[in-house]
Structure 1
């Protein structure tokens, strides 16, 4: 009996997977606590999360299912995640560097392949007063994240095509004075607005698809940082409209 190497078979199966990957669009959403679904509470924290169908990625998925047919949305939301700013200490036992999106994005996207689209919404935590991030630096780091995604080159020993990218400039932080979250958000309202504006400007400069969430939602929750359920619904539906157009253009 002739022995067949496992590697060519694996390669063949991979090629077949590539050929069928776009039958149902796969979307990867990468973000922070507002993507994770943090429910704002009067105590600030601890909290729980909204149900999957209440979070904006879930709302987006349902809207896309209705508009363009079945889609798969893979969500990676980590509370505290930043674009580029680094925490000096571990957060709840998680190493500080694990929260830096620009360091983790390649591995995160590779783990979710095959993908048609990556949606990134980060920047809120970079506005924290204890991180003192410069808005222009954060915008440049978003461009660097885009470069990391565009140069992933198929993932880890796979041959999947590079996904499209949509960057969401997050809505500006609101009034944070009512909860203990205020301890790390002194001056963050103005800084978060500047970060979002810088992300929009950087996107226009380098040709990134950027969606300005501040145009459709306002952070009016008790903690001033996290979206209420109605805001999740509004954002999810608005992003779905944008993503639907991108999917249709790609077909």
Structure 2
């Protein structure tokens, strides 16, 4: 059986395409490209949900709390070898009123829970991916009413998440290095960024697993 990699995220892992208001095809999503790049010795498991947060209950939408779903998710896919977490974008929504540090603290709770879950083939190995920042234009885009004021907070996430990853012994990647947003809602990765993200993560995963 190939090495099992769980990719736990939100709409940018689910593959939301703002141009069509639908989902990118398998061979366009970063998870699908990652599967192709890594080959048959790896099993890539998509666990993306639009709207998912690190640890927050959404008062408007059911089931968005990543912490509550994490244990059954990992156990259902066990035994796993590597966990990729890319969350935090939705935590930036104005209605949650959090700081970037608060969001990173939520991520810390996720990581600790993941490590304690008896779903690992060997020792826990986790990669924290700081999401590419939301652009300021999002706040005047079609999703402005949903997101509110969010871009400045989003840009501060990578610094806090890097500290969190270091503290807990996780790998870290800042998706701002490769990410460009679509020019409609300015908060979802464009097609080209999915490919670049997959290439970057494939290199890291080959070194670790």
TM-score (norm 1): 0.77
The reply to whether residue 226 of structure 1 matches residue 188 of structure 2 is yes
Aligned to 2:58: 87
Aligned to 2:71: 106
Structure label with greater radius of gyration: 1
Tell whether the 8 Å contact from 1:217 to 1:235 is kept in structure 2 after alignment.
Answer: yes
Tell whether the 8 Å contact from 2:80 to 2:119 is kept in structure 1 after alignment.
Answer: no
Q: Provide, for residues 78-132 of structure 1, a one-character-per-residue CA deviation record: whole Å limited to 9, x for no partner.
A: 000011232113x2xxx2xx21112211111111111111111100000111221
Tell whether the 8 Å contact from 1:41 to 1:223 is kept in structure 2 after alignment.
Answer: no
Which runs of 4 or more aligned residues in structure 1 lie more than 4 Å from their structure 2 counterparts after TM superposition? none
The reply to whether residue 38 of structure 1 matches residue 16 of structure 2 is yes
Tell whether the 8 Å contact from 2:125 to 2:170 is kept in structure 1 after alignment.
Answer: no
Tell whether the 8 Å contact from 1:172 to 1:192 is kept in structure 2 after alignment.
Answer: yes
The size of the alignment, in residue pairs, is 208
The reply to whether residue 172 of structure 1 matches residue 133 of structure 2 is yes
Tell whether the 8 Å contact from 1:118 to 1:166 is kept in structure 2 after alignment.
Answer: yes
Aligned counterparts of 2:139 and 2:149: Cα–Cα separation in 1: 11
Q: Provide, for residues 193-243 of structure 1, a one-character-per-residue CA deviation record: whole Å limited to 9, x for no partner.
A: 112321112212332211111122122431111111101111111111111
Q: 1:130 to 1:117 in 2, by over 3 A?
A: same
TM-score (norm 2): 0.92
Aligned to 1:73: 44
SS of the counterpart of 2:54? coil
Aligned counterparts of 2:67 and 2:82: Cα–Cα separation in 1: 18
SS of the counterpart of 1:166? strand
Question: 2:99 aligned to 128, 134, 139, which one?
Answer: 134
Question: 2:163 aligned to 201, 213, 216, which one?
Answer: 201
Query: What displacement does 1:153 show?
Result: 2.3
Unmatched 5+ stretches in structure 1: 1-22
Aligned counterparts of 2:166 and 2:204: Cα–Cα separation in 1: 16
Deviates more, 1:209-218 or 1:118-127: 209-218
Tell whether the 8 Å contact from 1:85 to 1:133 is kept in structure 2 after alignment.
Answer: no
Aligned to 1:6: none
Query: What displacement does 1:55 show?
Result: 0.4
The reply to whether residue 62 of structure 1 matches residue 36 of structure 2 is yes
Q: 1:143 to 1:223 in 2, by over 3 A?
A: same
